[in-house]
């Protein structure tokens, strides 16, 4: 349950009523349309997010007051919080990249030569980003042996942290790391569902495609950046190119929890990620690619040094055990001091007959 200081934003409705922007306060929801006016009677956070950091700070100050005094709603339907524009997924955990490198390329170096020079990423499928609670149908695809078209036998999850762009940028103008907080509105938790057998056959040479694009789940509440605890990032060696240099502490101190059918199987630590979110933002715009309101970029699987800190089943079981039909997977997060930051959940349905 969220406390009275985190105050994340979401979109909800009651009965047959219109969708509205709300704020989670303990076990209730603060209706911003009722308290701050019709600008908050919206189907998504996008118009609010586009207004920029000065407006975000003003509204957050008002919300802090309202959260202490206003009546809260308790029976609401949550919706996808923002309209996803583009979706990018990175690969920013050295431990995860090393584990997968060892499994997929046992005879080569675990990390490829580019990995410590830039945050490796790919463009995912924005249209299949779904709200927490949405069932996920086991995908079919070409897998070995064969290849034959069959239901994936290696359905997996990836425990990730996602960042949501509020303010877009101009085509042709890179966004420097120092402008991160001028553009990024907040954080969601992400489950990047992955079919490892489809992925391992298709991914050469252009990267993930159908093994990833069938569904990506996000949490319903977007946590504002200033509700996150920041700590120093790990030292990067070799030094990065100047466009990836960062001033200040931009690692976020949060611990994730991966649960399968109600049992915790892993606690991945996010603060130790090799690449930070401002570096991801700078990298994805370094060629002049523009940002749009609603862009989502995710960290890639969060894995720590210990076995029980790995953020995917392929790492936890070393490519031996995956999800069964009916399994429910939940990812949640807390700050370093134990403050709740939300959760994303989903259930696996059988492949189509």
A 10 A CB-CB count for 4 gives 10
Query: Nearest distance from residue 307's CB to Mn ion, in Å?
Result: 20
Burial class (CB in 10 A: 0-12, 13-18, 19+), 334: middle
| Residue 2 CB partners (closer than 8 Å, separation 6+) | 8, 24, 25, 26, 221, 340, 342
Task: Give the closest residue to 297 by CA, choosing from 81, 114, 118, 86.
Answer: 86
Q: Of 31 and 89, which has the nearer Cβ to Mn ion?
A: 89
Q: Of 156 and 253, which has the nearer Cβ to Mn ion?
A: 156
| Residue 161 CB partners (closer than 8 Å, separation 6+) | 187, 188, 189, 190, 252, 254, 256, 270, 298, 299, 302, 333
- Residues at the contact surface with Mn ion, assessed by CB under 5 A: 89, 158, 192
Burial class (CB in 10 A: 0-12, 13-18, 19+), 169: buried
Greatest alpha-carbon span in the chain: 63
Q: Of 89 and 94, which has the nearer Cβ to Mn ion?
A: 89
Query: Nearest distance from residue 208's CB to Mn ion, in Å?
Result: 8
**φ, ψ for residue 332 (rounded to 5)?**
-130, 170
Residue number of the CB atom closest to Mn ion: 192
Query: Nearest distance from residue 50's CB to Mn ion, in Å?
Result: 27
Q: Which residues pair with 137 in a beta bridge?
A: 349
Q: Of 169 and 194, which has the nearer Cβ to Mn ion?
A: 194
Q: Of 32 and 302, which has the nearer Cβ to Mn ion?
A: 302
Query: Nearest distance from residue 204's CB to Mn ion, in Å?
Result: 17
| Residue 94 CB partners (closer than 8 Å, separation 6+) | 111, 115, 274
β-pairing, 136-137 vs 340-349, is parallel
123 is catalytic: no
Query: Nearest distance from residue 129's CB to Mn ion, in Å?
Result: 12
Out of 96, 123, 149, 283, the active site residue is 96
Catalytic residue list: 96
């Amino acid at each position: 349950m969220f406390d009275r200081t985190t105050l994340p934003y979401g979109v909800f409705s009651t009965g047959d009523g219109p969708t509205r922007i709300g704020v989670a306060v303990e076990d209730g929801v603060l209706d911003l349309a009722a308290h701050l006016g019709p600008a908050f009677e919206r189907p998504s956070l996008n118009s609010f997010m586009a207004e920029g950091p000065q407006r975000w700070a003003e509204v957050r100050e008002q919300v802090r007051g309202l959260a202490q005094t206003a009546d809260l709603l308790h029976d609401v339907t949550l919706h996808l919080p923002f309209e996803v524009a583009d979706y990018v997924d990175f690969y920013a955990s050295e431990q995860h990249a090393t584990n997968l490198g060892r499994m997929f390329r046992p005879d080569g170096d675990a990390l490829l030569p580019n990995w410590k020079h830039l945050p490796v990423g790919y463009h995912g499928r924005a249209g299949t980003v779904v709200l927490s609670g949405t069932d996920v149908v086991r995908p079919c695809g070409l897998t070995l042996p064969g290849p034959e078209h069959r239901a994936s036998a290696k359905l997996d999850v990836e425990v990730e942290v996602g960042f949501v762009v509020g303010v877009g940028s101009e085509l042709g103008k890179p966004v420097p790391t120092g402008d991160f907080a001028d553009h990024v509105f907040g954080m969601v938790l992400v489950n990047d569902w992955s079919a490892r057998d489809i992925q391992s056959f298709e991914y050469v040479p252009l990267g993930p495609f159908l093994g990833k694009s069938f569904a990506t789940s996000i949490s319903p509440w977007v946590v504002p950046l200033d509700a996150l605890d920041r700590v120093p990032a790990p030292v990067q060696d070799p030094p990065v190119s100047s466009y990836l240099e960062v001033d200040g502490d931009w690692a976020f101190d949060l611990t994730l929890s991966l649960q399968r059918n109600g049992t915790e199987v892993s606690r991945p630590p996010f603060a130790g990620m090799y690449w930070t979110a401002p570096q991801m933002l700078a990298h994805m715009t370094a060629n002049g690619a523009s940002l749009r309101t609603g862009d989502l970029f995710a960290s890639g699987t969060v894995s720590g040094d210990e076995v029980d800190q790995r953020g995917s089943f392929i790492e936890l079981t070393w490519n031996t055990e995956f999800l069964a039909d009916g399994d429910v997977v939940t990812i949640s997060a807390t700050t370093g001091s134990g403050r709740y930051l939300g959760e994303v959940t989903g259930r696996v349905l059988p492949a189509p007959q």
